[in-house]
């Protein structure tokens, strides 16, 4: 049995797979064209968010038994088509929960106290003490769109900071300490809004121009979930108009996102899709992914 590693994966995970008697080929820099040529000889592939596993790849993968996504989102894989071809699609949904939740919580604090902007000001040799008046998170309301593993972890951290938690979910759900409300009510009552939903037809631009109109003046937006769930042009307009006080983004409709007009705004802070980018999370993701590969090929 052979497994193709298409994206950077923890070396210990590769050792674990090899120790199980599976041949490991590490092609973490493989191009889309090379993947089409080489995939027929493999029985399993491990991908992160960079590699796209679409219909042409699946059609070429005549020996493929499983696709393992070392991470949470499956939007880079044609899941239904793969399954129709008898290919299992597996992911590691819980391994990076803590890392993404902590980044989201960090962004809550960074937005409230203008931490990146103050750092830039200090590095520019300025002492702008009065220009960066912040707000406290205690007593503020956080609206969470999508209370899955990560959303619930964020809620727990925010509650420790004294925040009130609202959440919207498209299925009936009850969680102690969280008030579940319709989406429009969440927009109207939240001081901060954080997205933790997958990107699919039902969540595409779930936050859009109409959503911003329904929000409090001076609300803040955080997206460490999936790109494509916020209308980025509408977000730009809402910040320019003063409706939204600031935004923190780790994910984007198109990635890599370079030179995006949102980053011409001082009110926007962000990162290049690094939510799961901690050494601990990468090790956990690799460990779980290794076990998924071994289980799929055993």
48, 69, 199, 273: the catalytic one is 273
Please say if 255 is a catalytic residue: yes
Return the closest-CA partner of residue 245 out of 219, 279, 283.
219
CA dist list (Å): 262 to 14, 37, 54, 65, 231: 39, 38, 30, 42, 11
Please say if 273 is a catalytic residue: yes
Kindly state the tokens that stand for 7. 């994206």
38, 185, 255, 287: the catalytic one is 255
Instruction: Please report the sign of the dihedral spanned by the C-alpha atoms of residue 293, residue 295, residue 296, residue 298.
Output: positive
Residue 48 near residue 77 (C-beta atoms within 8 A) = no
Cα–chain center distance at 193:
15
Kindly state the tokens that stand for 93. 């949904």
Separation between Cα atoms, residue 110 and residue 179, nearest integer Å: 25
Q: Which residues are catalytic?
A: 226, 255, 273
């Amino acid at each position: 049995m052979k497994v193709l590693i298409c994206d950077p994966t923890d070396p210990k995970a590769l050792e674990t797979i090899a120790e199980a008697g599976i041949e490991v080929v590490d092609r973490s820099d493989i191009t889309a064209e090379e993947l089409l040529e080489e995939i027929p000889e493999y029985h399993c592939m491990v991908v992160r968010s960079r590699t796209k596993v679409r219909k042409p790849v699946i059609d070429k993968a005549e020996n493929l038994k499983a696709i393992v996504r070392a991470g949470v989102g499956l939007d880079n894989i044609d899941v239904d088509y793969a399954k129709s071809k008898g290919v299992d699609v597996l992911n590691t949904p819980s391994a990076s929960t803590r890392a993404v939740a902590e980044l989201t919580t960090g962004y809550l604090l960074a937005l409230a106290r203008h931490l990146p902007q103050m750092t830039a000001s200090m590095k520019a040799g300025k002492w702008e003490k009065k220009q960066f008046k912040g707000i406290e998170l205690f007593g503020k309301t956080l609206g969470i769109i999508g209370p899955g593993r990560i959303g619930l972890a964020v809620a727990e951290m925010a509650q420790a900071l004294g925040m009130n938690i609202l959440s919207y979910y498209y299925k009936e759900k009850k969680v102690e300490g969280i008030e579940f409300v319709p989406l429009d009510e969440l927009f109207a009552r939240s001081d901060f809004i954080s997205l933790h939903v997958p990107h699919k037809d039902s969540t595409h631009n779930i936050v859009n121009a109409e959503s911003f109109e329904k929000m409090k003046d001076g609300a803040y937006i955080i997206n460490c979930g999936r790109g494509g769930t916020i209308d980025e042009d509408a977000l730009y307009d809402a910040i320019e108009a003063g409706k939204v006080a600031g935004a923190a983004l780790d994910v984007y409709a198109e990635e890599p996102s370079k030179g995006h007009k949102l980053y011409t705004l001082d009110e926007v802070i962000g990162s290049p899709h690094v939510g799961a980018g901690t050494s601990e999370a990468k090790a956990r993701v690799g460990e779980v992914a290794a076990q998924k590969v071994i289980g799929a090929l055993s």
